[in-house]
Structure 1
């Protein structure tokens, strides 16, 4: 077993340089040089490693702009012309140097290399995405992407801009690789607090930051940079290993500075007579790099010896061995002090390998072979590491980047700060236009989509970088002004309701990028519609015993999402809740003030004593909050566990009390059978009695609350739970067929008797008899699992039942994407939020005809309802959906539309505000 892991990450990016309106554009050479010196040589290395059956793992980030250029037919044709021109020059050079004993070998070397590059490119039919995709499918590469135009996110003003940069990139990637990437490369490793929440929305599981991003996180990382940390949104952040970087990047001691390596800054484009070299230069006179470099670094002085490729290759092999040995020693030291296999993350710009460091691809080839031959060190991708270590320390990251100084100064300084007033104005204007046109027709839709493209292109981090670095400044300034100018022209046409077809067509023809962009990504989040009866803003004290990341059931997610929706509507929400690992006593979560009880106050081992301590702590916390923030407008309590505190706070502060009762002890146990259950029931009764208004999550729950606690109808309101449908990845539209061997029945929920999983297991033999082989995937934990496992064993279906354990949001989405049908056979269910999640994912449903589930599904319209506890009928309906995929997909589409229109948090927050207004008016 390896002592540690090496995660090698290459980030491939070039700004979009595509000028169909003219030929011989100087900046297109950036792309051509990248292909010749970096991307094709790297692909050749990967292919050779695969052919030699070397077990290697590399994470490769490809920017959407680079992917676009790699797949552009015009650029492909122009690259072949460029390559042929270089081959012609190589032949001339071979003739010119035929009698030169010092350099004649180099002319032949470059000719052979260029002919090989041409053969590789033509061999792949000019499509590099296909072989890269194959390497990913074979497990050698993990290909991720970055933001749409490599925009530097920390200097953008809105989450809408973050979403636009991220989602459009993910969509373009999926169009080429037939899947969403697991991770993302944040441009310039630029992170700002809150970005992780956007990444979570789009199911991104990890990203990278520079060393200080991890080192400065709070609490301090226990494993340093040798393991990722988990952000508040549940996304893993991997930190750069500084030792790996120094060995390769450092100008003084790094490998690329070795005297035997090729000198980058000596090129025949500058050295030879213009009459000879001119035909191979832009415009016949503009001196640029040609790629023909005949000298080695030699030393710091001006004298340079001839380059010897054989000697350089030997040095690359030696340096690869040195790097491998140093990593192994470093990780063995770390392994002695941490209780997991340490990880060294080594991220580099891809163009370092071949372009800036000519021998880089050779080095990489030797390194992969060295590691593969070493038992104590293994290469790994971030996804593989997270599969082995899914639980990582929770930490909050501060703003950081991998630029000089570690923060913003390379992209925001006196040389380039003038661009941001234009960008920020355009961001605001784009969002306003998207809100103004929720469903644009033609030609407005074309105009809006093109405006979104131009804004994205103007946001590229390349322009301020180039301006500050002082290279190609005129081009960068011109590109920025062109894109922001076109944006303003399009925005003005929309504002004036006067779109000129010729102008629009001309702008579209210049920026054919992101063909599937949807301008509506820039729409503002759309806060809840504030009812007329509600004040402009309330200060709300929310009490809940669980709140993310502490999650036991659906209550935590409900309180979180409701609180965020209320904040978006303009309210001030303070949540008092339990302590959670890795979370401070106070935090600000998407605008919600989260106050956690001190862990030292909760010492009891007996559960009811612990509840008493929790309620005492909440009362004390409320007193402190009033001193700091001022008085509240109302208290909102969730379930009996916080009822005592809610009643006392309401009485002491003379505040109205709203109580949401998510479930009842009587309903959970189908009666009250012991003293503990009767005691909990009495606490629920007292909470209901003291509440000014009561909210139930379904019509069923409303009736149960009224009956069990003898509450009048005018005190009760029904407001459903909700989901953010956009945050749940829709299942692929590939319905199962009768001969499909990969058919999955999925259940998600706590493993307790009232969830009815035992009924589903009993139905499995009949389902298999009717439709053939199926797999039952049971996601969740609970005390009933041993009995369920025994039941499956006794029925002879244990081999077809997989208890996958607790799943986070990402794993839930993956599970739903693999589901043929989702089943929720509850015997008691106040609402059933997991059913909404399955509906949002586009998965056909069979649920019990009980409780709140019958409020969610309409039988025979968007799913099937089955009698609770009836295994025979459950098997019949599940089999019906598996056998009839068209019907199943029809149900799934209807159900998803229902979720989007009826169960979104904006509507739920608006309905909750009405209850608040009524509660305040009653006191």
Structure 2
């Protein structure tokens, strides 16, 4: 068995260079050289290993510009001409050098160029993407993507610009390879806060960062770079291993600097007579590399010795063996320190292999074969495979990093290139503006907007800033940047002033033709300050009040029962004539604005900067909510604000005072109740926020008499300020849409009963009491399974408890259950148990009753008010194992009782706890508040 894993990752990228306006263009040679020296040799290596049955893994990121150039017919045609010129030159050189010391390398190039042509033309019909797709389908090669034009994310001003780079890249990859990528190479490994959420929204499961991106994470990584970290969005980050990087990457101490390898900086394009070589170099006899180099590195001397391909090949094999030996020692050492096999991630620019290090593809071939044939300690793997084998990893917050000089943004923000950003940032803003203004453009207008997006993307390529900093092809890089910005601005003002013509746009479409299927609406903003503002009255019916509702969660973001409450209440209010605008937190994949069942929903993103904990994040969420509300208040008159729980307290209070709009709050639970007291500074801080919210509120709504007593006591509220309105349940939302006959068999045998719990796995929900009762229950009633759905901070302790009690074969943890899964589990359960230690209301008990499942609840909080003991359910003492075990056994053993309780529970839900009644009671509170506010002169300042 392998002691550790090795992930070889190659990043394949070139800037998009295509110039149809001229027959030959010098910079197109970048692509042609890369095909000849790197990509086709790499394809050959992989083909040969597949043919020989070698078991290997390699991860290759193909950037969208490179994919687009490989697919471009014009560039294919030009590459063939380039290749034929090389073959012609190599033929002449073979004749010229015959009988000299250069005959051997000249013959090597002649044979090599013919092999390259054979692979390109005969094997793959000029389509290398077919080769990479074949490799991907073999299961040995993981293909991933990169940013649409390799734009550097940390220096982009707008979130939408990053989103466009990711979304366009994923779409292009999917079009060419048939399915989306699972991973992404962040351009220049540039990571900044919020990028992970955009990746997650686009289905990306993992990405790579430089070493310090992992090592400086918070909290610090337990396993260093030898295991991935999850970000808060659930995307895995893999860090580069420094040791393997230095061995291969370093041109002096690394393998490529060996004196027997080919010298990169001596080319016959410079060495031979101009008259002889001029047909094979640049226009106007500009000397450029031909790719034919006859010398080896030799040493730090100008007197170079002739290159010997045979000796170089031997050195490549030796270096592969040395690399493998070092990896064996490395993983052996690391394995002793870790709870899993270590993962060594080696990330490189693909063009290092072949272009810069001519023998690089041979080295890869030898290395992967040796790993397969010569040892068993180190096994190759892809990041995706590692995540599947070891899905549980540490969660940390990653800092802003790159793999550029000194590890941050110095390479792309320098006096040589900093002038570009004011233009790029302005273009970003204008593109977002246009996407907002024209959400459904058609015809010529749509073509213009798509071309604007192409020009912006092309201007953002990190290559231009890099070239300016390095001082190489500066004139070309500056020209490309200026040209794309100028074209973008011309189109922007043209569409604003309606002075564009067909021929002008068509010329740009031919010149900059990347991303033919680009959807410009990817730039539509998900930030609060540019959300669409519906006009007052838009929706259904005559409105009684216009309500601004604040909630930190709202479907599809569902953490607890609060999201479901606000969702059902807002819809029920809208159905009774209220105009409801809900401002909530964004969720990846959801629209920033939607009109859902008459409810206006705005999803805002916390301010784009690094946070230092949950409370800091809450503050930024409130700032985003306030920002959104400011914009809404420009076009709407709100009668009142309705804030749900402490997480939106700051926004509610600020908006109340700024616009003199009366505030109503609903307290769903208190920090005092959740923790059965206040025990630390964080709890004291939250308790103070809750008190401030109730103090500033005109009326405070709670869901039960129990909660009314609690908030009156904890916050010293007068009785006339508190209103009790129960929670409700929408029966149709808990009835399974599809009944799968085989669904139940996943959890229990046909003769076994199912006892079900669903909720957050936290101590106050009392799941530990249920698990502790299992041994007593199965002793008397063995044919039963306990199914537990949910996740939370206490889940690991619950897993351990089941194992310690020897009942883990009877307890099935499903993890988080979506609505459909939950509904089907309710439908096939024989009993639902909710043994809470603290529960303000317990809407989940109503949901169980709505599905005709008998329920057992703790006699605590609102649960004791929902269930009438012996009539529509059973109640047990909180935190009492014996009481709970007896109640479960009673229902399992008495089918008649179970039927009676389930029928009575169903009738209660449909008569007492329906959302129409609850909405009507809430509207009464709204009327009361608006009337009282008006009577004391609390006039609106809107």
TM-score (normalised: structure 2)? 0.67
1:379 aligns with 2:380: yes
SS at match of 2:616: strand
Mapping of residues 272-291 of structure 1, within 5 Å: 272-283=272-283, 285-291=285-291
1:37 aligns with 2:41: no
Post-superposition offset of 1:586: 3.2
Q: Counterpart of 1:247?
A: 247
1:700 aligns with 2:730: yes
Post-superposition offset of 1:474: 1.0
Question: In the TM superposition, what whole-angstrom CA distance separates every residue of 1:183-211 from its partner, at most 9, and x where no partner exists?
Answer: 11110000111111111111211111111
1:210 aligns with 2:210: yes
Q: Counterpart of 1:519?
A: 520
> What is the alpha-carbon distance in structure 2 between the residues aligned to residue 493 and residue 260 of structure 1?
59
Question: In the TM superposition, what whole-angstrom CA distance separates every residue of 1:592-650 from its partner, at most 9, and x where no partner exists?
Answer: 269xxxxxxxxxxxxxxxxxxxxxxx999999x999x9999858556446695699726
Q: Counterpart of 2:155?
A: 155
Contact map agreement 1:659 1:693 (CA 8 A) in 2: yes
Mapping of residues 710-789 of structure 1, within 5 Å: 760-761=740-741
1:346 aligns with 2:335: no
SS at match of 2:305: coil
SS at match of 2:200: helix
Q: Counterpart of 1:441?
A: 442
> What is the alpha-carbon distance in structure 1 between the residues aligned to residue 267 and residue 784 of structure 2?
75
> What is the alpha-carbon distance in structure 2 between the residues aligned to residue 488 and residue 430 of structure 1?
10
Contact map agreement 2:55 2:372 (CA 8 A) in 1: yes
SS at match of 1:346: strand
Q: Counterpart of 2:691?
A: 649
Post-superposition offset of 1:322: 1.1
1:587 aligns with 2:616: yes
Mapping of residues 869-880 of structure 1, within 5 Å: none
Post-superposition offset of 1:523: 1.4
- CA 1:686 to 1:442, structure 2 compared with 1: closer, same or farther past 3 Å? farther
- CA 1:648 to 1:91, structure 2 compared with 1: closer, same or farther past 3 Å? closer
SS at match of 1:405: helix
Post-superposition offset of 1:497: 1.9
Q: Counterpart of 2:841?
A: none
Q: Counterpart of 2:752?
A: none
Q: Counterpart of 1:897?
A: none
Contact map agreement 1:637 1:660 (CA 8 A) in 2: yes
Contact map agreement 1:564 1:592 (CA 8 A) in 2: no
> What is the alpha-carbon distance in structure 2 between the residues aligned to residue 120 and residue 790 of structure 1?
64
Question: In the TM superposition, what whole-angstrom CA distance separates every residue of 1:243-288 from its partner, at most 9, and x where no partner exists?
Answer: 1111111132111000011000000000000011011112151100
Question: In the TM superposition, what whole-angstrom CA distance separates every residue of 1:116-168 from its partner, at most 9, and x where no partner exists?
Answer: 00101111111111121121111111100001100111111101101111101
Post-superposition offset of 1:66: 0.4
Question: In the TM superposition, what whole-angstrom CA distance separates every residue of 1:78-100 from its partner, at most 9, and x where no partner exists?
Answer: 11111111000001000000020
- CA 1:762 to 1:620, structure 2 compared with 1: closer, same or farther past 3 Å? closer
- CA 1:97 to 1:344, structure 2 compared with 1: closer, same or farther past 3 Å? same
- The range that moved more, 633-642 or 165-174, is 633-642
Question: In the TM superposition, what whole-angstrom CA distance separates every residue of 1:44-100 from its partner, at most 9, and x where no partner exists?
Answer: 001111111111111100011100110111111111111111000001000000020
Q: Counterpart of 1:74?
A: 74
Q: Mind listing any 5+ residue stretches in structure 1 that lack a counterpart?
A: 576-581, 595-617, 665-677, 702-719, 722-753, 766-777, 794-802, 830-846, 853-910
1:125 aligns with 2:125: yes
Q: Counterpart of 1:894?
A: none
Question: In the TM superposition, what whole-angstrom CA distance separates every residue of 1:570-591 from its partner, at most 9, and x where no partner exists?
Answer: 999999xxxxxx9835332693
1:394 aligns with 2:424: no
Q: Counterpart of 1:470?
A: 471
Mapping of residues 357-368 of structure 1, within 5 Å: 357-368=357-368
> What is the alpha-carbon distance in structure 1 between the residues aligned to residue 484 and residue 196 of structure 2?
28
> What is the alpha-carbon distance in structure 1 between the residues aligned to residue 297 and residue 43 of structure 2?
26
SS at match of 1:443: helix
> What is the alpha-carbon distance in structure 2 between the residues aligned to residue 432 and residue 683 of structure 1?
49
SS at match of 2:617: strand
Contact map agreement 2:281 2:287 (CA 8 A) in 1: yes
Post-superposition offset of 1:324: 1.2
SS at match of 1:7: strand
Contact map agreement 1:444 1:499 (CA 8 A) in 2: no
> What is the alpha-carbon distance in structure 2 between the residues aligned to residue 789 and residue 474 of structure 1?
80
Q: Counterpart of 2:198?
A: 198
> What is the alpha-carbon distance in structure 1 between the residues aligned to residue 260 and residue 29 of structure 2?
27
> What is the alpha-carbon distance in structure 1 between the residues aligned to residue 692 and residue 51 of structure 2?
72
> What is the alpha-carbon distance in structure 1 between the residues aligned to residue 505 and residue 428 of structure 2?
20
SS at match of 1:440: coil
> What is the alpha-carbon distance in structure 2 between the residues aligned to residue 682 and residue 761 of structure 1?
46
SS at match of 1:588: helix
Post-superposition offset of 1:300: 1.0
Mapping of residues 315-330 of structure 1, within 5 Å: 315-330=315-330
Contact map agreement 2:424 2:460 (CA 8 A) in 1: yes
> What is the alpha-carbon distance in structure 1 between the residues aligned to residue 483 and residue 606 of structure 2?
46
Contact map agreement 1:693 1:919 (CA 8 A) in 2: no
SS at match of 1:411: coil
SS at match of 1:204: coil
Q: Mind listing any 5+ residue stretches in structure 2 that lack a counterpart?
A: 537-542, 568-581, 594-600, 624-644, 674-686, 746-756, 762-766, 787-811, 830-846, 853-922
Post-superposition offset of 1:220: 1.1
- CA 1:588 to 1:80, structure 2 compared with 1: closer, same or farther past 3 Å? same
The higher radius of gyration belongs to 2
- CA 1:370 to 1:553, structure 2 compared with 1: closer, same or farther past 3 Å? farther
Mapping of residues 583-622 of structure 1, within 5 Å: 584=613, 586-588=615-617, 591-592=620-621
- CA 1:84 to 1:349, structure 2 compared with 1: closer, same or farther past 3 Å? same
Q: Counterpart of 2:910?
A: none
- CA 1:337 to 1:493, structure 2 compared with 1: closer, same or farther past 3 Å? same
> What is the alpha-carbon distance in structure 1 between the residues aligned to residue 116 and residue 455 of structure 2?
34
TM-score (normalised: structure 1)? 0.69
- CA 1:264 to 1:658, structure 2 compared with 1: closer, same or farther past 3 Å? farther
Post-superposition offset of 1:543: 8.8
Contact map agreement 1:163 1:198 (CA 8 A) in 2: yes
> What is the alpha-carbon distance in structure 2 between the residues aligned to residue 528 and residue 440 of structure 1?
16
SS at match of 1:467: helix
Q: Counterpart of 2:110?
A: 111
SS at match of 2:26: coil
Question: In the TM superposition, what whole-angstrom CA distance separates every residue of 1:293-340 from its partner, at most 9, and x where no partner exists?
Answer: 000001011111111111111111111111111122122212211211
Question: In the TM superposition, what whole-angstrom CA distance separates every residue of 1:436-492 from its partner, at most 9, and x where no partner exists?
Answer: 111112211110110000000011001111111111111111111111111111111
> What is the alpha-carbon distance in structure 2 between the residues aligned to residue 275 and residue 651 of structure 1?
85
Q: Counterpart of 2:500?
A: 499
> What is the alpha-carbon distance in structure 2 between the residues aligned to residue 620 and residue 31 of structure 1?
53
Q: Counterpart of 1:906?
A: none
Q: Counterpart of 1:883?
A: none
Q: Counterpart of 1:89?
A: 89
